[in-house]
Structure 1
């Protein structure tokens, strides 16, 4: 069974991410946990909150959260009725990143699906602050859906790698099973300014072959020193439907995510972006 966490702030972007997830996992028996962490909302009620009224405002915001979550759940049932899917709602007086981390551990979540930005939608940035926090700090793969991106079958996947990371079986299995029903082609792209693979890199390449064996794999090498430009160009020139990268210490992606915004590195992402965290979890 696939377990999917959907954080929401009830924005159009969040609802769009939920709809994408429902369509993507339509072939799998799946449990969706639709979660709203409303602690920030309490203090946004700045005209109402005092020490004396905090309890009442908290109750009001919590009740409103539950009502809106129930509405989102009913919407999920209607847009694509699927006997394989069940839905749970989670309303919590917590901050998003902490509540997401808590649910990931408690429910053994396979993947988080969320929008690039929420209500504080700034078209000048790729990822909002909440999305960046989840990408950086929650120990779970994250699938990020761009604003207004409408679902299409993930037929062509781009997976850039330097083959230096000791990949985790569970995370590659997620990718394999997520796109296998669509007979997807996965381009494994090695961007390098040198030649050949070391023994360690060859072993990691073989591991990828074994774990993604249900899909068509295309191993490619591009000689380049500019990783960002190479990825951007490849996506544009090859009609890629999803970008997959790994967030690990000392990787290109970690360098991006540690910037105040991903845009400083010039990585332009207008397709679903799956970040594998490459951390130890149960197999």
Structure 2
């Protein structure tokens, strides 16, 4: 059974990710795991025994608060409460704790809320950016102002390298949701233009799923992000899928153009990122 891990710090910002994870776990018949990463500092004068008692008291109190917080979210979306596991993990680094837990427990997806549009740290938040660039587990980034909707249409942005393997992963996500899949390629003027009808027939055969193709021409006067933004406005997807090279430099080339603050689609559309095959 799939496991969906969603993070929370009990903030208003984290509620969007939890709402999304609840709905997704129900649709996919997956296990839902809600994770809170904490770190307690031991006062120098305290004994180990005193600190251990303090930790137990903290966890008991936090469990009550987290349970009430999550119950309020279920009530707000009028959702019958499905079984979930509440986990609290100690780690000095929040994202290291999230990734370590997700890997150890073979989670299928990590879900996290983001803080809206702007430059890199404003688009994703420091934690989200680090998670995308570090996690071997696919990451779902949910805008904090996002209201849960049915996932009907998935847009997969492809650079056409290793697309068969990537498309198989996208289809594996889409199939249980019965969502449509559209593969987008933004081509430079010198690139070969695909025949849509022929390419779509090939994609359907390879993926064993209905896949449409969206060809868009690269406007070299724009940042790449602007071209992606324009394609999203045209396609109107429920979810955008990207495969990322997990290095800061590659990530910033895509998401940190000088005028990135003008692009707002990350504040509106959930994003699913997979680690790209680095051998390609």
Alpha-carbon distance in 2 for matches of 1:31, 1:262: 41
| 1:184 to partner: Cα distance | 2.8
The 1:87/1:233 distance shift into structure 2, 3 A limit, reads: same
Tell me, in whole angstroms, the C-alpha distance in 1 between the residues paired with 2:211 and 2:249: 25
Is 2:35 the partner of 1:35? Answer: yes
| SS of structure 1 residue aligned to 2:110 | strand
1:128 equivalent to 2:125? Answer yes
Instruction: Output the TM-score relative to the length of structure 1.
Output: 0.75
- Structure 2 residue aligned with 1:271: 269
Give the 3-state SS of the residue equivalent to 2:26 in structure 1.
Answer: coil
1:97 corresponds to 2:95: yes
SS of the equivalent of 2:124 reads: coil
2:233 is the counterpart of 1:236:
yes
**2:133, 2:247 within 8 Å by CA — same for their partners in 1?**
no
User: Please, which of 174, 184, 189 is the counterpart of residue 184 of structure 2?
Assistant: 189
Cα-Cα RMSD = 3.7
Preserved contact between residue 139 and residue 274 of structure 2 (Cα < 8 Å):
yes
Contact kept, 8 Å, 2:109 with 2:137, in 1: the verdict is yes
Alpha-carbon offset, residue 266 of structure 1: 5.6
Q: Which range moved further: 8-17 or 157-166?
A: 157-166
Residue 14 of structure 2 aligns to a residue whose secondary structure is helix
Find out whether 1:66 has 2:66 as its counterpart. Answer: no
Deviates more, 1:89-98 or 1:56-65: 56-65
Contact 1:24 1:153 (8 Å CA) reproduced: no
Cα distance in 2 between the residues matched to 1:187 and 1:176: 10
The CA deviation at 1:267 is 4.8
Gaps of 5+ in 1: 44-48, 199-204
1:244 deviates by 0.9
Q: After TM superposition, give the deviation of residue 206 of structure 1 in Å.
A: 9.5
Q: Using the TM superposition, give the Cα deviation of residue 212 of structure 1 relative to its aligned residue in structure 2, in angstroms.
A: 4.3
CA contact (8 A) 1:245 1:253 kept: no
**Once the two structures are superposed, what CA deviation does each residue of 1:89-148 show, in whole Å capped at 9, x if it has no partner?**
110111321221222222111111110039xxx9x9211111111111121110111012
Q: Distance in 2 between matches of 1:187 and 1:251?
A: 28
Structure 1 residues 71, 168: closer, same or farther in 2, change over 3 A?
farther
> Structure 2 length normalisation: TM-score?
0.76
Q: Give 5+ residue unaligned stretches, structure 2.
A: 195-199
